[in-house]
Amino acid sequence: MTEATPDIAEIIEAFELIDDWEERYRYVIELGKNLPEFPEAARTDANKVRGCVSQVWLETTFADEADGPHLYLKGDSDALIVRGLVAILLALYSGGSARTILETDAEATLATLGLREHLTPQRSNGLSAMVQRIRRDADAALAAA
Q: At what angle do helices 8-17 and 80-93 cross, to 10 degrees?
A: 130
Of 35, 52, 113, 134, which one is the catalytic site residue?
A: 52
Alpha-helical regions (H) of the chain: 8-17, 21-33, 80-93, 98-103, 106-113, 115-118, 121-144
6, 91 Cβ separation under 8 angstroms: yes
134, 71 Cβ separation under 8 angstroms: yes
Beta bridge partners of 61: 72
Task: Tell me if residue 4 is catalytic.
Answer: no
> DSSP 3-state assignment of 48?
strand
Q: Which residues are catalytic?
A: 52
